[in-house]
Amino acid sequence: MSTVQLPKADGTIERYVLSGTPTERPAAPPVFNRIAYAAAHVVSDPLKDTRPWDAPAVDWEETLAFRHHLWSLGFRIAEAMDTAQRGMGLDWAGAQELIRRSLAEARTVPGADLACGAGTDQLSPGDAKTLDDVIAAYEEQIGLVEKHGGRAILMASRALARVARSPDDYRKVYGHLLGQAKDKVVLHWLGDMFDPQLKGYWGSDDFERALSTVLSIIAENRDKVEGIKISLLDNACEVALRDRLPEGVLCFTGDDFNYAELIEGDGQRYSHALLGIFDAVAPQASKALSSLASGDVATFRAVIEPTVPLSRKIFEAPTPYYKAGVVFLAWLNGHQSHFTMPAGLQSARGVVHYADIFRLADRARVLDRPDLATLRMKSLLAVHGIEG
């Protein structure tokens, strides 16, 4: 078995022996009994990246190839979302190109499904003065998605969080946008652990009050809402929302801490999925979901539960930097030739964090090519002064 010298949190180095075996791939895209969106990352182009902080270059060929990887495993793709570094390296100009390219690519793949994040990130929160400013920014992005034949995921807005003064302001903005949407959309409830600028979203810091507001928005616009993604990293909050949604409106878990139990459900209701972690553990999630669809709950649990400690490590506080762990695993697994990210975000986590991810990924059978992963881990360690 492969071995590697890994650092520990106490400053010591341990000889780690890999034990995991790769998860087998399906011969054809499997069919799930849960809707499963994987929020996909973008791949940098380091050879063209002259200003990675201000104008990062994207390797479009590798970025689209990764989407084919996800489609081949049965996933729908949530495009241009937080995992693609919206507002943290990928600006609106880059997001537009990503949306156009990905929608065009999806049309070349039988059965491929893709929905696109539409937000307000072209509008600096400090420049947003009125609700109409926010509405105009949303309309521009929704219009771009619809123009190219896409469906929108209505992302939470930093600008709206800044200018809204009451729950009624949220009702006004969302009511206007949903009223003119061409197709049903997915709403997006992102907690402030993912983005501190979203604190007090829906008009209150109190969960029950915020829940009441979002439920009223859904009830008033039920024919335009496919579902809502909730990412609060609190399974009790998600279940409270899920249990009160109107019939036909779907709950998409965005809980990267508790997704296994939420997807399985409680015997009466369950959550569908829209998750960034599915980018990193796609083969394992695919096998688990296909097992669940066939009624094999034991295999579902056996495959997906070991990925949860890995996900909790990747998404640990400060949570916005989870993207680094996702891309780290894409590099280890050979989906890209380098470990660089837009805005240099790979530097947001330390080498001990990456060593922990490596251990947990091995135990969860997430390392698709253990020898390559070991070689690349050793190269990262060498940069940090750890040889052997």
**What CATH code is carried by the domain that includes residue 117?**
3.20.20.70
The number of CA neighbours under 13 Å toward the Cβ of 263 is 32
Report if residue 376 sits inside a domain. Answer: no
Report if residue 23 sits inside a domain. Answer: no
How does pLDDT run across 59-88, given as a tens digit for each residue?
A: 999 999 999 999 999 999 999 999 999 989
Average pLDDT of the chain, as a whole number: 97
pLDDT at res. 51:
85
Q: How many angstroms separate the CA atoms of 304 and 300, rounded?
A: 6
Report if residue 191 sits inside a domain. Answer: yes
Q: Where are the strands (E) in the chain, listed by range?
A: 3-7, 13-17, 36-39, 76-79, 114-118, 151-154, 185-190, 225-231, 250-253, 272-275
Give, in order, the Cα–Cα distances in Å from 277 to each of 9, 14, 39, 184.
23, 27, 8, 25
Structure-block tokens of residue 152: 């929108």
Distant-in-sequence, close-in-space partners of 147: CB < 8 Å, separation ≥ 6: none
User: 304 falls in which pLDDT band (50, 70, 90)?
Assistant: very high
How does pLDDT run across 346-369, given as a tens digit for each residue?
A: 999 999 999 999 999 999 999 999
Report if residue 36 sits inside a domain. Answer: yes
Report if residue 197 sits inside a domain. Answer: yes
What DSSP character marks residue 246? P
Query: Domain count of the chain?
Result: 1
Q: Are 16 and 378 in contact (CB under 8 A)?
A: no
Bridge partners for 58 per DSSP: 44
Q: Are 131 and 173 in contact (CB under 8 A)?
A: yes
Report if residue 34 sits inside a domain. Answer: yes
Q: Are 83 and 279 in contact (CB under 8 A)?
A: yes
Report if residue 159 sits inside a domain. Answer: yes
Q: How many angstroms separate the CA atoms of 43 and 63, rounded?
A: 5
> What domain range is 98 assigned to?
29-342
Report if residue 54 sits inside a domain. Answer: yes
Give, in order, the Cα–Cα distances in Å from 150 to each of 134, 259, 376.
21, 26, 37
For residues 126-149, average pLDDT: 98
Is the pTM higher than 0.75? yes
